[in-house]
Amino acid sequence: MSRTVIHGGLVITASDEIHADVLVEGGRVAALAAPGTDAAAGWSAERRIDATGKYVIPGGVDAHTHMEMPFGGTYAADTFETGTRAAAWGGTTTIVDFAIQSMGRSLREGLDAWFEKADGRCAVDYGFHMILSDVNESSLKEMDRLVAEGITSFKLFMAYPGVFYSDDGQILRAMQRASGNGGLIMMHAENGIAIDVLVEQALAEGRTDPRYHGDVRKVALEAEATHRAVQLARVAGAPLYVVHVSADEAVAEIAAARHKGLPVFGETCPQYLFLSTDNLAEPDFEGAKYVCSTPLRPREHQEALWRGLRNNELQVVSTDHCPFCFSGQKEMGRGDFSKIPNGMPGVEHRMDLLHQAVVEGHISRRRWIEIACAAPARMFGLYPRKGTIAPGTDADIVVYDPEAEQVLSAETHHMNVDYSAYEGKRITGRVETVLSRGVPVIEDGAYVGHAGHGAYVPRGLSQNL
Ligand code: DUC
Ligand code: ZN
Ligand code: ZN
């Protein structure tokens, strides 16, 4: 059985920071020992990684990606191959992507299509959530079967009428079903019916630039939908996970629900923490690079998100990675912001941006690991196999240099997209080595993994309840 020793580093998990040597054996963590005692303990190993002065952290778990997602007449530009490779570069060793049920089709057909796209192509491990676009008697029954197979979470949309949208009755039925089968409902909480009215009015009045995407998708309409989702989940007796929370008033709705003791959870994304409507207003259609939904908000909202992450009103930071090239894809919306495909690249830089948040004092090191690794793993039934470093866990391990400097740029990133949302941003900290189940994927600044190493991971029920 192949053995690796990572010695001299500071092992950081969501609960501890300890100087320890880590023994990896056959793809799993076998033991941790006090620094320097590894030889005495008889740890012979083929590979020894010197982590002196470095952090040894669990591989990141990005619970919200959309590889090759069809949207607005085009497809997200990262395939499972390019997207998981970029994830590995940034220290993310597990993604949970969204398989999509098409209108009029079964969940099974959607899921099979996503298995087909991912099979044999991934650099790191992957699981699936299921997007419910057509809630009916038959798809409700299928939910039970999927939960038994390890697809234990379901995304519903209160936005995008005519595409992914579910009405309140459909949402309630899906929540009731999840309450019975143990599944977790993930909600895109924006009032899409009202938004569509405002889109129509904006376009009719000649307000067509990307910044109006942010204008029409109002804070009140995110907060209202979040409130409604909470009340529907409460009536159904189901837990609720609100995805890509961007507005302070939506955080307040989640906090109020949690204060009542309801099992309501929230996720935000780096773009809401670091970017703002100032980006959406960039001239010459550049703002299109930042069109995603929920939209970027005025920067005053960022403090509520950071506070929410610190005090556990928000539990998870995922990326909602859904990249569209500026050239040829974002450009589809010149003269009509509603035709700009919604989504931004991000899977490569989540761990780094959140480390930058540690450097800037927004969160502690352990909270960094909690929100980026342990909490998403627990939330989606992957813990402790993923999300921590302890005897028996998968050896998904990142050696992270907290002192290295880097500048984010489309010139150097590995995502299959022609721009960076963080072009020129200076970051302190960088991934040095990445192991996926004990196998090197990134080593000495080079990609040494291969498509097909990444395995499908069936998930258990959410462990946060
Ligand atoms: N939001 C996006 O920005 N892109 C894809 C789907 C979504 O909900
Ligand atoms: Zn969404
Ligand atoms: Zn999404």
pTM of the model: 0.98
pLDDT above 70 for 40: no
CA of 186, nearest ligand number: 2
pLDDT digit string, tens, across residues 112-145: 999 999 999 999 999 999 999 999 999 999 999 9
Mean pLDDT score of the chain: 97
What ligand has the least distance to the C-alpha of 291? 1
- Domains, the chain, in order of start with CATH, read 58-379 (3.20.20.140)
CA 188 / ligand 2 centre spacing (Å): 5
> What is the predicted pLDDT for the residue at 188?
98
Residue 464: the pLDDT is 82
DSSP structure string for 182-247: --EEEEE---HHHHHHHHHHHHHTT--STHHHHHHS-HHHHHHHHHHHHHHHHHHT--EEE-S---
Our answer on whether the CB atom of 343 is closer than 6 Å to any ligand 1 atom is yes
Q: Cα(290) to centroid of ligand 1, in Å?
A: 12
pLDDT score, position 132: 98
Which residues on adjacent β-strands are paired with residue 297? none
* pLDDT tens readout for residues 332-366: 999 999 999 999 999 999 999 999 999 999 999 99
Distances in Å between the alpha carbon of 314 and those of 242, 268, 418?
9, 7, 31
Residue 465, pLDDT above cutoff 70: no
Ligand 1 binding pocket includes 318 (Cβ within 6 Å) = no
Q: 169-180, pLDDT tens digit by residue?
A: 999 999 999 999
- Tell me the pLDDT tens digit for each residue of 148-165: 999 999 999 999 999 999
Residue 321 CB–ligand 1 contact under 6 Å: no
pLDDT per position as a tens digit, 224-254: 999 999 999 999 999 999 999 999 999 999 9
pLDDT at 39 over 80: no
